[in-house]
Amino acid sequence: MSINNISLDIDYVRAQFPAFQDTLCKNWIFAENAGGSYVPNEVINRLSKFMISTKVQPYAEYPMSKIAGNEMDEATKLFAKMINAKKNEILIGGSTSVNLYVLSNALKNFIKKGDEIIVTNQDHEANISPWRRLEENGAVIKEWKFRNDTAELDIDDFKKILSDKTKIVAVTHCSNIVGSVNRLQEISKLSHEKNAFVIGDGVSYAPHGFPNVKELGVDFYTFSLYKTYGPHLGLLYGKEEILKLLPNQNHEFLNGNYPYTINPGGPNHEELVSLIGIYEYIINFYNHHFKDKDLDIRDKIEKINNLISKHEEEIANPILEYLSNRNDIKLIGKKYIKNKNRAPTISFISKQKTSKEISKILVKNYIATRNDNFYAWRCLKALGIDTEDGVVRISLTHYNSIKETEKIIKALQKI
């Protein structure tokens, strides 16, 4: 697939990920990317370099320590640039679940009895439970339910439950089951008219293109770095003017030192530094495909995102088409991807076989995927799907190839 005659060079991309040459993995089609992605050489190199010479307490005067501290700062700075945030608007924590829990704990001070919080039934539990828990602080929880025929959230339904009492709106940018991309920009605009905070869960969105958080207009945005080609960490973005107002949940002497006030304790140092490797991968990817070297990082990312989405359309649409044409299979979500309206995260159930049985057949055919509720159990319950057996989920990303798509369809034909 090409944009302006530029095609994603899949052989180049796959060569950057040692997993695809590794004896244990090389015969497998990896289709569980929504669970976590493999990492490119740049991330591994950064991690091992840090572990060899700079794995000491950072920010002291001796060079190993100085470099460690500088690299930790650099990693945060680069990620801030990549999503168009300021450096002091980025918090790196252990995972998205932890980050959202810690954030909800900080925001609970803003909640008075009778204030309303909107959560969806489409989200992963990580962006539901922490907000529902604020019921203990007097909040009234309102559920934005997706439409049963499409499994999609409809803005008109949101408008009906949004009110002057709404204080928090927690909504996924892209569901890890349905795959549809939700209109966060519009949701933010509507919520801000009511002075409510918007918390966007970008975990299933960010692996398909780092977003511009300012353009989305959200107050908080979160994603898991282990699904965006990095180590097991989570990133939380928060608008500076709101972070400033949050209580200090860290050591007392850090009062006022946001964003370090949000999370009690810092992230894993070596993993934080390895995030520089994601940036390097992105830049190398850009330089391999595009000539104009003078653009700033956000413009480069926009170009990469377009290239990636076109490629993902090409590899996912044939599977979506195949599954949606089978009478014995219920595909969840949109039947094709167009203009970034859906991620290549494909969930389905069979009318004849359990998801576990299908998953086993796929694994026998060297397709690494699984059946589960993927912690979006409210979504599955609303869809009337057994939350134990769950759905089968084939989740692709830009390093999957069209050859793999053909093999996946062949394997699905055996079911």
**Contacting residues toward ligand PLP, per CB under 6 A:** 95-97, 124, 126-127, 172, 176, 201, 203-204, 224, 234
Residue pair 286/304 in contact (Cβ under 8 Å)? The answer is yes
**Distance of closest approach, residue 4 Cβ to ligand PLP, in angstroms:** 32
Closest CB to ligand PLP among residues 203, 216: 203
Closer CB to ligand PLP, residue 170 or residue 315? 170
What CA–CA distance (Å, rounded) separates 405 from 314?
A: 9
Give 54 or 397: the residue with its C-beta nearer to ligand PLP: 397
Structure tokens at 305: 């995102």
Question: CB-wise, 230 or 234, nearer to ligand PLP?
Answer: 234
DSSP characters over 131-180: HHGGGGGTPEEEEEPPPTTT----HHHHHHH--TTEEEEEEESB-TTT-B
Classify burial at 177, counting beta carbons within 10 Å of its beta carbon; exposed 0-12, middle 13-18, buried 19 or more: buried
User: Shortest distance, CB of residue 221 to ligand PLP, whole angstroms?
Assistant: 12
Cα 91 to Cα 106: distance, rounded to the nearest angstrom: 14
Asked whether the beta carbons of 119 and 144 are under 8 A apart, the reply is: yes
Q: Tokens in use for 382?
A: 């609303």
CB nearer to ligand PLP: pick between 95 and 137: 95
Q: Which is nearer to ligand PLP, 8 or 178 (CB)?
A: 178
Question: Least distance in Å: CB of 226 to ligand PLP?
Answer: 7
To the nearest whole angstrom, how small is the minimum distance from the Cβ of residue 143 to ligand PLP? 17
Show Cβ contacts of residue 363 under 8 Å, excluding neighbours closer than 6 positions. Answer: 369
- Give min distance, CB of 176 to ligand PLP, in A: 4
CB of 389 to ligand PLP, least distance (A): 18
Residue position matching structure tokens 């970008």: 202
